[in-house]
Structure 1
Amino acid sequence: MRSIRRLWNALGQFGRRCLLVLLAFAILSASCVCQLTSLQLINDKSLASAAEKTRTATATVQGNRGKIEDTNGTVLAQSVERYNVIGDPLLAQSFKPVNCTANNKTACHSINGKPVGTTGAAAVARLLASVIDVDAKTLGAELSGNSHYVVLKKNVSPAVKRKIDKLNIGGYVITKLSSIREYSNGTLLGALLGGVDGTGKGVSGIELLEDKTLTGTNGYKTYQSGGGGEMIPGTLIDSKDAVNGSDVKLTIDSDVDWYVKKALTDGVNQYHAAWGIAVVQDVQTGAIIALEDSDQIKAGSTEAMQNASRAVAETFEPGSVGKVFAMAGMLQLGLHQMTDKFSVPSTITVDGQTYKDSHEHATTNWTLAGILQQSSNVGMIMAADQYTSEERYEFLKKFGIGQASGLNLPAESNGSLSSASAWDGRTRNTVLFGQGYSTNALQITNAIATIANKGVKNQQYIVKSVTDAEGRTTTPKRGEASRVVDESVASQMLNAMESVGEYYQAQAGISGYRIAAKTGTAQVAGANGSLTSIVADWVGVLPADNPRFVVTVILKDPDGTYGGLTAGPIFKTIGEFLMQKYQVPTSTPRTDAIPVTW
């Protein structure tokens, strides 16, 4: 100890200071060696794990929404790949571009071969503006904020995304996978197809009906990322494949639907109607081939997401079309034959209630077939003297009136058919000619198709098949067909309806083809609530001798009033197209017409 003290004194002040500095360095060196030993030998694994975690990123791999197609595979709705452009304002403000040189032509920044000319957010903005349709001033303002996240542009195409990638501004600006729903035919099937919300979820129309089927399942990728957020090659840690949604094929033929839409729109304009609806159904299967209204709503629009298809949601009294269902019930119960004879005045009073035909006429000798041809309300009441209220109700119900169609389309209305016990003395008789209950276009189409299909009511359907991401195609289960009336009854009704078609040959006849039809005209409530409006309709079967299609046309408040004079000509236009498109053989001459007079 004394020797150390003597040495310390001998060193002098300068020496002592040097010794202290040497000791300090020695202690510091020893500390660094210890820390390095700890990092490399003791804590290396935990520190490496922590570093790895800071670089680990998980990206969602989006499962695309399935397509909606028509019966021929024409795409009606599909999701397309798009990207949202996202900036980091705080990071962008520190950006310093690297000028391109002969030795560095890739990891550098230029605009049309020239230097960027500035730094920070302005430089990022100039580079980005060169490839997206947003000016540099707007982008610069967005990138001058105090956050780490701002959406600079939504839904850019993959081609634009690739251009952004080549700008070498990863981290300052990134692109995030998104998608948009595209509809190929504007207002065609607009509200019926409906639309999706901002998350891609179906909110109306077919998009809502088949949302579960169409929706894909997202996957993910977990990887090590570089400074710009990009995946470091060979660092994939975990992943799960996305599964795209299934494609839905409809029974709709878009070519037919387009023509129906045009014919209907032209007819609404010609007759100055408030609106129009048209349906084309395959008689033998129940498939809906066209379903249109005159509303000009684009699929996928806000309007399409807020409004149901009028062809599905609108209800109305069918008027004299309802005579078909009432008369079929009389025949089925054996109360009458089509050849039964009646002397029919133009008015009749029953239980204190007076009913009249659409026009005055002398007492006329008509068969039951003639009553249908002339659409006589009075004749229907006379023929129904043994037809009970309960029987009238049951046959309307069997034909599907006031009942769910089974299509399950969003916002579809069932109409209304109150029970026979709720009818008053007048309603009991008005139901014989299509008043006192309401229906929709789908219901009366299928009811007439039941007559055309030999008395068997098919389950209507609009979804033809579903094909999943693996290419497996399935056919959705449909409800069973049911017999409503005997084949002989259906045959007699179709025969009488053909006489109606002949009566309107000048307005609705189709050259070379026999048609069976029924017209209707019903007073309905107008805007003021009183019976000031008219619904005019026509339902036709063609060809009558070998039924293929039922076509329904409905107009609200047309000039010309009567269904045969307004909706009938539109039916003719549609029918001619159908016969031509499907190359339906022309009809054989009619030889078995039931007499309409006696």
Structure 2
Amino acid sequence: MSPRSDDTPPRRGAQPRRGTSRDLPTEGDDNGGKSRGFGGIGDARAYTPRGRTMAERDQRTRSPRAGRTSDPFRPALQVLDGGRPRRGGRPEPGEPAEAAETPQRGRKGTAKTREPKGTPRSRAPEPDEDDELVSRRARIGVKPRRPQRAPKPEKAEKPRRIVTGPRVSRAVRAVAPEPPKLANSTRRLRIGAVVALSLFVMIGVRLVILQVASSPADAKRLIELREDRLAEVRLPAPRGSIIDRDGTVLAHSVEARYIGADPMLIKDPAGTAAKLAPLIGVQASKLIPLMTPHKRPGGGQSRFEYLAQGVDISVGDKIAAMDLDGIVVKEDERRDVPNADLAANLIGFTGADNSGLEGLEARYDSLLRGTDGERIFEIGKGDLDKPIPSGYEKYTEPQPGTSLQLTIDGDLQYEVQRILCEQATESKAYMAGAVVMDVKTGEVLAQASCPTYNAAKPGDYTPTEREDVPSSIVADPGSVHKAFIFGAALQEGLITPDSVLTIGPALERGGYRFEDTHEQKKGTKMTMAGLLAYSSNVGTILIADRLGKQKVYEYQQKFGLGKSTDEGMLGEADGKLLTPDEWSGSASGSVPIGMSVDATLIQMAAGYNAIANDGTYVQPHLIKAMISGKDGKVTPGPEPETHKVLDPQVAAELRTMMEAVVDTEGATGKKAAVAAYRVSGKTGTGKRLIDGKYTSANYGSFIGMAPAENPRYVIAVSADVPVGTGGDVAAPAFSKMMSFTLLHNKVPPSTTPAPKLKIHP
């Protein structure tokens, strides 16, 4: 539809403008221009749905751009008031522009205008002049000039709402009132940031004061307060096991229970102690002080005390069912020895707290026991004596101990121990010992003592009964020492296997008479093998005279005497040698035949092992490997020390000469023979020196090796007996032990017969 012509009269005729003065004359007024009736929308003061007039709403929402219209060609959509465009709208063609700019009048006829701030004001026409000018221009058809406006930058126009009919088509922008100060989001953020920073500063200053500027009294008070509400519980680490070379368990830990007490919660210590004493086997007099409130050594009240450890599970369950105030029953472990007395003198035992006290348990306690864990937690007071949820708690996980794998063969150990105790009982020995060594490796396959004991009940035995004889008992080795003198003389070239020595019935040195048990007439000639077979004291002393005391002392050290072998046993004795400066007048007679020499059985066994191992000394050792309790990693034991003592040929010659001790008729070691195997060895009878005095008993021994042509094992046996010699009490036990050892390890019998050695040339 084309725009309506400017001169087209309105459908409803000329109507007075809304908001004009009622006193102004209007054209067509039948009342002479003074009509005061309702002639138009302005006079009727039509109200909007919200109860305001259109003029009032336009006045409240007027904006700087409210006088503009975006589409001058659509006057039909504009609301007309008295035939003219509404103020603030765009004038139709032919209509004066001032009509759109006429300010509103109030109820009393005064003009009210709202202009944006900063807009320059122009003089508004007088009310009468304005109305008359508009009417005159409208009658003569003069088009109003569009006001000149400064060009503005192009800007995307916002969509305008178009209302047809009696509503206005205009863009309305509401000017919101400025919010109150606290409703401003930026200001709120700034205030919140300042408050938060202030709090952090205050906390930081307080922490600095507590840690740096606080007095010692304040620090002490804080520590005491913390200790009063902290409970500590030790978490025992699983102790490592002790197993033999094949993995058989010799000692391990099993599940048990420990009984603990919180002295602060026990109301009747005496009554509680009376109930627990018969169950845990601890006297009530010892329990009462532990259950009575007391201070810890470091200060603060004690909140935990062990009453018993390693308690049977059934006993622990019974105590737990009693529900005694302040008494706790928790998981624990107890050392268990499955085979009772098997290698008990060697393995040792542990205490109530699982700490090693004797034997290998004590020597390797730091490895076996691992590292205990700890739990420290915060508890409440009084009836709320429970761990506080989300309170302070520190948990240190226990580290399992390392297991020891021994070189011991469990089956061989059992048989050697059985034979030894049988022989000791038969000979009424005060004590006896035995050692079995692998010649090539130096591993100790068995180490037995008699008497033995039940390691599960060590308290039932005396310390003497629990001793490991081979490593702790020191005695004069006697004639077994003679093999070292013969070996040294062979190595030094002072004798040969074919040498002959003239001897007599006895010698005197330093006022002491040294004679042979197999007396020989003066001027009797004997071979080297014969001197060994009959264990001639006189012949050995004469050979040592050729060596001299310095060489004798040096070879004693080479064969491992005078210091501990360090095989692994706790408390192993060093023995003692007389230095050349310490030799008395009689020492040249006593030292060569094994008197005035302090040695252990394991030292003598290691010296003979050097003869069996082609003259190379190998340190005896008990530890084959260590097995980590954390990841099961196996670490081999330390390599044994080795050194040369004799040339291989010299060692072979000496072994052959020593076969005469077992094979020769009337020799001292006939009872040590082993069927189907060649045996080399030597008997000995010495004395034990206790508190500087020799005992009346005889310390008899036999040390030998087999097969003699290529030795695999060395066995040393000793016994302290009222009467008898090494050939009587030790040789028979050696024979049985060596026979079992060779068959147990499937060693082929000797294929060559023993040599026929002469006693006399």
TM-score by length of structure 2 reads: 0.60
What secondary structure sits across from 2:329 in the alignment? strand
> Matched residues, percent identical?
28
Deviation at 1:154, TM superposition (A): 5.2
Q: Deviation per CA, 1:142-171: give whole Å up to 9, x if none.
A: 9xx986989787544446656776x59486
Say if 1:393 and 1:419, in contact at 8 Å, map to a contact too. Answer: yes
After superposition, residues 514-525 of structure 1 pair within 5 angstroms as: 514-524=678-688
Say if 1:172 and 1:228, in contact at 8 Å, map to a contact too. Answer: no
Q: Deviation per CA, 1:45-74: give whole Å up to 9, x if none.
A: xxxxxxx99998664432122112222222
Q: Deviation per CA, 1:188-244: give whole Å up to 9, x if none.
A: 333332233333322322112101111221224566879797779999965332111
Structure 1 residue identity aligned to 2:648: E
Q: How far apart, in 1, do the equivalents of 2:573 and 2:393 lie?
A: 53
Q: Deviation per CA, 1:371-395: give whole Å up to 9, x if none.
A: 1112111122333442211111111
Structure 2 residue identity aligned to 1:82: A
Deviation at 1:336, TM superposition (A): 1.0
Deviation at 1:359, TM superposition (A): 3.0
Q: How far apart, in 2, do the equivalents of 1:552 and 1:69 lie?
A: 24
Select 1:286's aligned residue among 406, 417, 442: 442
Change (3 A) 1:511 1:474: same
Where does residue 341 of structure 2 map in the other structure?
187
Q: How far apart, in 1, do the equivalents of 2:239 and 2:307 lie?
A: 25
Where does residue 642 of structure 2 map in the other structure?
481
Where does residue 555 of structure 1 map in the other structure?
719
Q: How far apart, in 1, do the equivalents of 2:557 and 2:245 lie?
A: 31
| 1:62 matched to 2:225 | no
Q: How far apart, in 2, do the equivalents of 1:481 and 1:146 lie?
A: 59
Where does residue 336 of structure 1 map in the other structure?
495
Structure 1 residue identity aligned to 2:558: K
Change (3 A) 1:239 1:576: same
Q: Deviation per CA, 1:544-569: give whole Å up to 9, x if none.
A: 1221111111111244x121122100
TM-score by length of structure 1 reads: 0.76
Deviation at 1:268, TM superposition (A): 1.3
Q: Deviation per CA, 1:375-417: give whole Å up to 9, x if none.
A: 1111223334422111111111111112221225222211110
What secondary structure sits across from 2:434 in the alignment? strand
Structure 1 residue identity aligned to 2:439: V
Where does residue 606 of structure 2 map in the other structure?
446
Select 1:496's aligned residue among 657, 673, 684: 657
Residues 269-278 or 499-508, more deviating: 499-508
Deviation at 1:273, TM superposition (A): 2.0
Select 1:540's aligned residue among 704, 711, 715: 704
Q: How far apart, in 2, do the equivalents of 1:93 and 1:314 lie?
A: 53
Select 1:77's aligned residue among 251, 259, 270: 251
Say if 1:281 and 1:550, in contact at 8 Å, map to a contact too. Answer: yes
| 1:274 matched to 2:430 | yes
Change (3 A) 1:526 1:203: closer
Between Structure 1 and Structure 2, which shows a larger proportion of helix residues? 1
Where does residue 760 of structure 2 map in the other structure?
597
Where does residue 39 of structure 1 map in the other structure?
none
Say if 1:332 and 1:486, in contact at 8 Å, map to a contact too. Answer: yes
Q: How far apart, in 1, do the equivalents of 2:487 and 2:335 lie?
A: 47
Where does residue 555 of structure 2 map in the other structure?
395
What secondary structure sits across from 1:537 in the alignment? strand
What secondary structure sits across from 1:493 in the alignment? helix
| 1:219 matched to 2:373 | yes
Structure of greater Rg? 2
Structure 1 residue identity aligned to 2:684: G
Deviation at 1:459, TM superposition (A): 1.1
What is the aligned residue count? 514
**Runs of 5+ consecutive residues of structure 2 not aligned to the other structure:** 1-225, 294-302
| 1:323 matched to 2:482 | yes
Change (3 A) 1:433 1:87: closer
Structure 2 residue identity aligned to 1:77: A
Say if 1:55 and 1:224, in contact at 8 Å, map to a contact too. Answer: yes
Say if 2:475 and 2:689, in contact at 8 Å, map to a contact too. Answer: no
Q: How far apart, in 1, do the equivalents of 2:356 and 2:663 lie?
A: 46
What secondary structure sits across from 1:181 in the alignment? strand
RMSD over aligned Cα atoms: 3.8
Say if 1:297 and 1:304, in contact at 8 Å, map to a contact too. Answer: no
Deviation at 1:342, TM superposition (A): 2.3
Where does residue 569 of structure 1 map in the other structure?
732
Structure 1 residue identity aligned to 2:590: T
| 1:435 matched to 2:595 | yes
Q: How far apart, in 1, do the equivalents of 2:462 and 2:511 lie?
A: 49
Say if 1:70 and 1:251, in contact at 8 Å, map to a contact too. Answer: yes
Say if 2:624 and 2:636, in contact at 8 Å, map to a contact too. Answer: yes
Change (3 A) 1:230 1:590: farther
Structure 2 residue identity aligned to 1:296: T
Q: How far apart, in 1, do the equivalents of 2:616 and 2:539 lie?
A: 27
Deviation at 1:346, TM superposition (A): 2.1
Where does residue 472 of structure 2 map in the other structure?
313
Structure 2 residue identity aligned to 1:562: T
Q: Deviation per CA, 1:457-477: give whole Å up to 9, x if none.
A: 001111111111210111232
**Runs of 5+ consecutive residues of structure 1 not aligned to the other structure:** 1-51, 95-120
Say if 1:347 and 1:354, in contact at 8 Å, map to a contact too. Answer: yes
Say if 1:501 and 1:517, in contact at 8 Å, map to a contact too. Answer: yes
What secondary structure sits across from 1:174 in the alignment? strand
Q: Deviation per CA, 1:23-62: give whole Å up to 9, x if none.
A: xxxxxxxxxxxxxxxxxxxxxxxxxxxxx99998664432
